[in-house]
Amino acid sequence: SDLRRVPVFTNLNDRLFEEVLARAELLSLEEETICREGEAGEAFYLIRNGEAQVFRRHEDRDRLVAILADGQFFGEMSLLADERRNATVKISKRTDLVRISSGDFMSIVAKDAGMMRELAAVAEERRAHQQDALRDPHMAVIGRKLLDLNHAVNVHLNILSQCSVDTDRGSALLATFPGSRYPYVYPRDSACASRFLCHLASSPLKSGDVAMRFLGEIARFILNCQRDDGYWGQRYGVDADDRGIYRQEDNVAHGVSILCRYLLAAKKRDIDIPAIETYLDAVMRGSEFARRNYYRKEIHLFYSTTSIHESAIEEGYTIWVNYAYLLMFRLINELGTAYGVQNRFSVERGLAEGFEMTVGKVFAQEGRHIRRLKPDGTVDLRPDITLLSPFFFGTGLDREYFTDSELFQNSIDFISDMLWDPELGMLQRYLPFIEDPDTHIHAGNGPWVQYTAMLAQYYFHRGDIGRGNEILAIIDGYKSREGHLCEHLTTPERFQDSRPLNGLRGGISKRSSIRASWWREFHTTISWRS
């Protein structure tokens, strides 16, 4: 029964839950008053589907004090306290209810002390909320919106938890479900999750407590993946061993950012971190490794061979990698201030100011952002999803670093015009020149969900709710019944066209140019087998 998922019934033993089902009456109502303030309580009601509005009489008028929806209940307060109804509850649209008579309800509650405590706690919270709502007529709507948001957030938290594996080193957040084709932890994915979890942990939503615990366990696992010299690589197994096949120089920035977000969220929630020195030392070692190995002092930028893109179109000085490191410096600065250890990161603070200025200038050309400077300094003007980097790495923090501008809006218009998939909708990562041996097309070109979601987030940020919702509706159109989304979409025809070019029919072994291109992307310690 779907009632088993309702929190008040979740922990009942099977025998008592069967008793609930036997005594429950199912109702389907439209535009009806269910109970009135001042009447005797005759039943307990639970909403299976729909909505109920709760009113209280105040200053000679009915005041809306709450809006209840799926999984919520009402009528318990008068039954538990043996008093008359303290509110009127109305249905204004088709709503399915579960009704349990007062006698049956009290008989069930008397048999389970845990259920009694939970109901009493809810009743006490509602009394306080109703008083607030009487003083502020907007509280009912705000409360409903927060509950709906909390419910939606919990759906995503649940999916994330399904992708994680608890280990003695922390929570290994896999790229997808355990047992799949990619049983790996990618620091970049974990950094995206930490962005969400840190923001949620700092919010007034009840799910913030769960988010904080999850963030802490993800950070602990990433901490255990770090090499002694400060390095983080592309991906890791659940035992924290390095399983990377690409260099992907942005991952050190992501590793540091995850640890910083965890420590900053803990400070905001006044949580003591027993291993604080271990985390601070890891942040320091990560920063030192990146500066020593990737930073080019002569031009004040970080160099990469691969990062968000696996192929050779990445090599050089990219907007994605450099904004990832700009975020790292910003978080380190916030961390130093929050914990009073600014002197510990004086080198980072000294480097950051000039670096930020360089990044802002170098990647702004031709009236918009550019995706990279090639190794020889040539400007790469091709469209790329990474033009969203200034927004993605500049938001989601306590301090807002991103400023919308004509320059950035031109960049958004450019990638929207050039990368929007005309058949499937959503954004491709870059233009799929499939004959180019330096370009990966991932088993058929097509749009990528997470980068399209970044675009929706940008529109929400600038207040264009309509456009943001339009993009999310396209994304949700590809959602499974369970709420799952894939990473990348293509068509059967594109997949078939891509197979010879991807070497799935032996093409790589026959085309030395492609083979050489692929080989340049891998670590030198990995052997090649045709």
Mean pLDDT value across residues 386-402: 91
Kindly tell me if the per-residue pLDDT of 247 is higher than 90.
Answer: no
pLDDT of 304: 95
pLDDT of 407: 97
pLDDT of 445: 84
More confident residue, 488 or 292: 292
Kindly tell me if the per-residue pLDDT of 378 is higher than 80.
Answer: yes
More confident residue, 75 or 9: 75
Contacts with 320 (C-beta within 8 Å, 6 or more apart), sequence order: 250, 307, 308, 371, 386, 389
2-137 CATH, one of 3.40.50.720, 3.50.50.60, 2.60.120.10, 2.60.40.180 = 2.60.120.10
Kindly tell me if the per-residue pLDDT of 128 is higher than 80.
Answer: no
Mean pLDDT value across residues 133-148: 72
More confident residue, 181 or 449: 449
Kindly tell me if the per-residue pLDDT of 351 is higher than 60.
Answer: yes
| Residue whose structure tokens are 């204004």 | 92
pTM reported for the whole predicted model: 0.77
pLDDT of 520: 39
Band of residue 528 on the pLDDT scale cut at 50, 70, 90: very low
Kindly tell me if the per-residue pLDDT of 436 is higher than 80.
Answer: no
Domain boundary assignment for the chain: 2-137
Bridge partners (DSSP) of residue 242 are 236
pLDDT of 500: 61
pLDDT of 301: 97
pLDDT of 493: 85
Tell me which of 31-35, 431-435, 471-475 is least confident.
Answer: 431-435
What is the per-residue pLDDT across 149-166, written as a single tens digit (0 to 9) for each? 877 888 888 889 899 999
Tell me which of 25-29, 193-197, 434-438, 490-494 is least confident.
Answer: 434-438
Band of residue 510 on the pLDDT scale cut at 50, 70, 90: very low
pLDDT of 205: 81
Mean pLDDT value across residues 10-18: 86
How remote is the C-alpha of 64 from its chain's centroid? 33
Tell me which of 21-35, 208-222, 367-381, 513-527 is least confident.
Answer: 513-527
DSSP structure string for 155-192: HHHHHHHHTEEEETTEEEEBSSSTTSS---B-HHHHHH
Mean pLDDT value across residues 470-495: 89
Q: Are 261 and 331 in contact (CB under 8 A)?
A: yes
298: Cα within 13 Å, side-chain hemisphere: 2
CA distance 494 to 27: 51
Closest by Cα among 69, 520, 59, 28 to 313: 520
pLDDT of 67: 85
In the DSSP assignment, the letter for residue 9 is H
> Percentage of residues in the chain with pLDDT exceeding 90?
61
Tell me which of 314-323, 475-484, 493-502 is least confident.
Answer: 493-502
Dihedral pair phi/psi, residue 524, rounded to 5° = -70, -15
pLDDT of 502: 54
100-109, 119-128, 140-149, 482-491: which has the highest mean pLDDT? Answer: 100-109
pLDDT of 519: 38
Kindly tell me if the per-residue pLDDT of 207 is higher than 70.
Answer: yes
Kindly tell me if the per-residue pLDDT of 3 is higher than 80.
Answer: no
19-23, 102-106, 222-226, 491-495: which has the highest mean pLDDT? Answer: 222-226
Tell me whether strands 43-49 and 73-74 are parallel, antiparallel or unpaired.
antiparallel
Kindly tell me if the per-residue pLDDT of 35 is higher than 50.
Answer: yes
